[in-house]
A and B are shown apart, each in its own frame.
Chain A
């Protein structure tokens, strides 16, 4: 039986590493908040190391991963963002021009947050970040204070992200399922994303883990 031509073409829109990074970060942000709020700083530190590793992995993946994961594919100039906002772009696959910038903002804010955490110290000097030894007590306390304030920036971006998902859902575009299972219907005329072999993800994960290990040991080998 011939496949009817009008049937939806389906393809993997988000590759497995990108989805895994996304959902692990989604779990680790509330866990980081909870562990800090309830004074479980060893857990908080571990959670930060995991997020750091995921961010480093995602950064590498942004250059060698599947096409929809690459910065070069989803980071657009202002003209494209304006065209998207004006509805002048046909539906594509992956992040839209505005969503791409929201990804960049989220990754940047998380990187800043983790970076501040590395240099932070608690008021009792019991639980320093791995790089707090590089700065004075006063500086590490000031950084801890900014780390607390920076959490609100992360929250704002999470709220914006959830708001955008709700906005598209209200217009009949349900985005969450594809981020879970990876596959989604392709818009007419859109090309399926190019996927990459899994060994690249293994290499990127090993590089990320090595960097986290180095940072966690206070930049000492």
Chain B
């Protein structure tokens, strides 16, 4: 074997070993990323709810958060890669059912995406009367999925 080949082989081996190492942490990393996304989504929902309950809603805040919620709802299907469940070893409340009942889980994702798109449309149009019911549909979609696919609080 020529030295250059040997070098190439060593590099290849390094890449393979390296990828394996990356593969080992990808599950926990995905869990972390998902939790950060969900927290941001929860914060957006909280901000919208506060505007709805405020004496005078700041439509600018509602618009900005509605756009974030819509984008998050569209991206959400990518937050659950295979291996990012409890089997990853990371602390997660995502139930294994997500990866076994893929049809049911996808339906929940579509319901959220539809509700979020409608809510964003209404918010951008500034239709104040329709904002609250549309927002509650989004939150109901969150809740409906959590009830089936997320572990309940143990305490």
Contacts and interface: CB of A to CB of B under 8 A. Distances in A.
Contact of A123 (B49, B136, B146): B146
A138 B55 CA distance: 24
B49 A148 contact: no
Contacts of B48: 125
A43 B46 CA distance: 20
B42 A132 contact: no
B142 interface: yes
B42 A125 contact: yes
B39 A137 contact: yes
B115 interface: no
Interface in B81-138: 136
A132 B55 CA distance: 16
A151 B153 CA distance: 13
A116 interface: no
Contacts of B53: 133, 218
A138 B39 CA distance: 7
B43 A124 contact: no
Interface in A173-221: 218, 220
A138 B140 CA distance: 20
Given A136-B43, A137-B42, A124 B146 contact: yes
B24 interface: no
A126 B143 contact: yes
B49 A149 contact: no
12 contacts: A121-B46, A125-B45, A125-B48, A126-B140, A128-B50, A133-B46, A137-B39, A137-B42, A137-B43, A148-B155, A151-B155, A152-B155
Given A121-B42, A128-B49, 12 more contacts: A121-B46, A124-B45, A124-B142, A125-B45, A125-B139, A125-B142, A126-B136, A126-B143, A128-B46, A137-B39, A137-B46, A151-B155
